[in-house]
Amino acid sequence: MTHPGEQFYPQGVRWDEPIARGTLPDLLSDAAAEFGSRPAIEFRDRPISYSELEAMVEKAASAFLRAGYGKNKSVALFLGNSPDHPVNFFGALKAGARIVHLSPLDGEIALSHKLSDSGARVLVTSNLSALLPTALKFLARGLLDRLIVCEDDHWGKVGTQQAALPDSPDIVTYSQFTDDATRPAQWPAISADDVALLQYTGGTTGLPKGAMLSHGNLTSAVSVYDVWGRPARAERNAVERVICVLPLFHIYALTVVLLSAIRRGNLISLHQRFDVEAVMRDIEVKRATVFPGVPTMWIAIAALPDLDKRDLSSLVSCGSGGAPLPVEVAKIFERKVGMKLKSGWGMTETCSPGTGHPKEGPDKSGSIGLMLPGIEMDVVSLEDPTRLMPVGEVGEIRIRGPNVTKGYWNRPKETAEAFVGDRFLTGDIGYMDADGYFYLVDRKKDMIISGGFNVYPQMIEQAIYTHPSVQEVIVIGIPDDYRGEAAKAFIKLRADAKPFTLDELRAFLTGKIGKHELPAAVDFVDELPRTPVGKLSRHELRMQQSQAASPKQQAASGGRS
d(C-alpha 56, C-alpha 124), whole Å: 15
What are the two backbone dihedrals, phi and then psi, of residue 100, each rounded to the nearest 5 degrees? -125, 115
Q: pLDDT: is 365 or 394 the higher one?
A: 394
What pLDDT score was predicted for residue 265? 98
- CA 42 to chain CA centroid, nearest Å: 21
Instruction: List the single range of 445-449, 463-467, 508-512 with lowest mean pLDDT.
Output: 445-449
Residue 203 has pLDDT above 60, yes or no: no
CA dist 215 to 259, 309, 348, Å?
12, 44, 14
Cβ-proximal residues to 196 (8 Å cutoff; 6+ apart), any chain: 23, 24, 93, 98, 99, 213, 214, 215, 217, 218
Residue 459: closest CA among 494, 501, 487: 487
pLDDT bin (cut points 50, 70, 90) of residue 156 is confident
The residue type at 334: E
Can you give the pLDDT at residue 360? Answer: 86
DSSP string, 186-240: SPPP--TTSEEEEEE---SSSS--EEEEEHHHHHHHHHHHHHHHHHHHHHH----
pLDDT at 550 over 80: no
Q: Confirm if 353 and 260 have CB atoms less than 8 A apart.
A: no
- Residue 337: per-residue pLDDT: 87
- Angle ∠(69,62,99) on CA atoms, nearest 5: 40
Global pTM value: 0.84
The one-letter code for the residue type at 158 is V
Backbone angles phi, psi at 147, to 5 degrees: -120, 125
Q: What is the pLDDT of residue 560?
A: 27
For residue 343, give the 3-state DSSP assignment: strand
Question: Lowest mean pLDDT: which of 215-219, 461-465, 488-492, 528-532?
Answer: 528-532
Q: Is the pLDDT of residue 551 over 60?
A: no
pLDDT at 206: 57
Instruction: Give the pLDDT score at 161.
Output: 86
pLDDT at residue 114 is higher than 60: yes
Predicted confidence at residue 449, as pLDDT, reads: 73
Read out DSSP for 238-304?
---EEEE-S-TTSHHIIIIIIIHHHHHTPEEEE-SS--HHHHHHHHHTS---EEEE-HHHHHHHHT-
- Residue 402 · residue 220 · CB < 8 Å: yes
Confidence of residue 482 (pLDDT cuts 50, 70, 90): low
Beta bridge partners of 125: 149
The answer to whether residues 131 and 125 touch, using CB atoms and an 8 Å cutoff, is yes
What is the rounded CA–CA span in Å between residue 473 and residue 491? 5
Closest CA to 448 of 528, 512, 514: 514
Nearest to 100 by CA among 83, 84, 121: 121
**Residues 326, 319, 397, 207, Cα dihedral to 10°:** -80
In terms of average pLDDT, the best of 254-258, 325-329, 510-514 is 254-258
Instruction: Give the separation between CA 447 and CA 444, rounded to whole angstroms.
Output: 6
- How confident is the model over 48-103, as pLDDT tens digits? 999 999 999 999 999 999 999 999 999 999 999 999 999 999 999 999 999 999 98
Mean pLDDT on 195-212: 81
Distance CA 462, CA 440 (A): 12
Domains of the chain: 4-19+215-443 (3.40.50.12780), 24-190 (3.40.50.980), 447-557 (3.30.300.30)
pLDDT in tens, 121-132: 999 999 999 999
Amino acid at position 544, single letter: Q
Alpha helices in 384-496 (DSSP H): 412-418, 457-464
Identify the band that residue 119 occupies on the pLDDT scale cut at 50, 70 and 90.
very high
Q: Flag whether pLDDT at 514 surpasses 90.
A: no
* Tens of pLDDT, residues 230-247: 999 999 999 999 999 999
CA dihedral 425, 430, 433, 439 (to 10 degrees): -110
Query: Is a pLDDT exceeding 70 seen at residue 361?
Result: yes
Q: Which residue has the higher pLDDT, 437 or 323?
A: 437
| Secondary structure class of 421 (helix, strand, coil) | coil
The pair phi, psi for residue 429, each rounded to 5°, is: -100, 135
Write down the number of H helices and E strands in the chain: 16, 26
Q: Which residues pair with 479 in a beta bridge?
A: 485
Is residue 558 over pLDDT 70? no
Give residue 554's pLDDT: 33
Q: So what's the pLDDT on residue 431?
A: 97
Q: Where do the DSSP E strands lie in 401-525?
A: 419-420, 423-432, 437-443, 448-450, 453-455, 470-480, 484-493, 521-524
- Of residues 551 and 497, more confidence is placed in 497
Q: Please give the mean pLDDT across all residues of the chain.
A: 91
- Quote the CA–CA distance of 364 and 432 in Å, as a whole number: 12
pLDDT at 377 over 90: yes
CA dist list (Å): 143 to 108, 136, 137, 139, 517: 12, 10, 9, 6, 47
